[in-house]
């Protein structure tokens, strides 16, 4: 079974700071998912990546397949970025996802 | 695009009652997932369907839980009888049936069993 570890569990930042959230997994995968869950509870898929880097606005996701590690970066953080960020990887070759415990980010104005 | 639609958004009921949660996936998606989220355990997959057929139900806690997908546009998750420990947020998600496709989540059903 793939084990997914995220760090840190909680992160508090000041508006404008550069944010990094880390995710490590134990078994090789085809793609890794980054999800965002806002205080209201809804879950949104941010990225799915299998190699290299992807960028969407102020969000950047990177993955190192050899090291089984991914990072999610937020540049020029804003209070509206406050949310829980969850990393997920497929279990075996199936569509079944295994989730990290999430990183709760709070960005203060 | 209407997105994944779940109902009800909130449900409060007494233990022992039957609870039915409903989900309408995005049209055209052929995989559907039911998840449960709690503070203690985070997000967990309960069951997923591909082309209306249950593929993996290993996450279903016990016989009190059952899920059906009678057609491509509707699925139910039923708990009978319900217990206080079933209190959680239940999410439904859908996707194309490839591991490299993102899953689209509904807004969830917040279930409280008293």
Can you give the pLDDT at residue A95? Answer: 75
Nearest to A67 by CA among A97, A99, A24, A3: A24
- Phi and psi (nearest 5°) for A44? -125, 135
The C-alpha atoms of residue A34 and residue A31 are separated, in whole angstroms, by 10
CB contact under 8 A, A95 and B100: no
The 10 Å CB-count burial string (b at 16+, else e) for A80-100 is ebbbbbbbbbbbeeebbbbbb
CB contact under 8 A, A90 and B55: no
Mutate to test the interface with A, among B26, B43, B48, B105 (most CBs of A within 10 A): B43
What residues does A34 pair with on adjacent strands? A47, A87
Burial, A21: exposed, middle or buried (Cβ in 10 Å; 0-12, 13-18, 19+)? buried
Q: How does pLDDT run across B57-110, given as a tens digit for each residue? A: 988 988 999 999 999 999 999 999 999 999 999 999 999 876 677 899 999 999
Give the nearest chain A residue to B50 (CA atoms): A95
Among A47-56, A89-98, B14-23, B104-113, the minimum mean pLDDT is found in A89-98
> Would you say residue A58 has pLDDT above 90?
yes
Q: How does pLDDT run across B6-38, given as a tens digit for each residue? A: 999 999 999 999 999 999 999 999 999 999 999
Task: Say if A93 is an interface residue toward chain B (CB within 8 Å).
Answer: yes
């Amino acid at each position: 079974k793939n084990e997914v570890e995220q760090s840190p569990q909680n992160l508090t930042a000041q508006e404008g700071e550069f944010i990094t959230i880390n995710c490590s997994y134990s078994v090789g995968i085809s793609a890794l998912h980054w999800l965002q869950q806002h205080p209201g509870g809804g879950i949104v898929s941010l990225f799915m990546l299998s190699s290299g880097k992807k960028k969407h606005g102020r969000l950047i996701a990177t993955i190192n397949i050899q090291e089984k590690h991914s990072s999610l970066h937020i540049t020029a953080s804003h209070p509206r970025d406050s949310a829980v960020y969850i990393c997920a990887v497929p279990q075996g070759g199936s569509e079944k996802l295994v989730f990290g415990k999430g990183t709760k980010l709070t960005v203060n104005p | 695009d209407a997105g994944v639609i779940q109902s009800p958004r909130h449900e409060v009921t007494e233990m022992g009652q039957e609870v039915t949660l409903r989900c309408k996936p995005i049209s055209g998606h052929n995989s559907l997932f039911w998840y449960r989220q709690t503070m203690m355990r985070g997000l967990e997959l309960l069951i997923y369907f591909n082309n209306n057929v249950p593929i993996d139900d290993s996450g279903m806690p016990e016989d009190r839980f059952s899920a059906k997908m009678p057609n491509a546009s509707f699925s139910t998750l039923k708990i009978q009888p319900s217990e206080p420990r079933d209190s959680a947020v239940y999410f439904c998600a859908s996707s194309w049936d490839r591991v490299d496709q993102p899953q689209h989540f509904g807004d969830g059903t917040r279930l409280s069993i008293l």
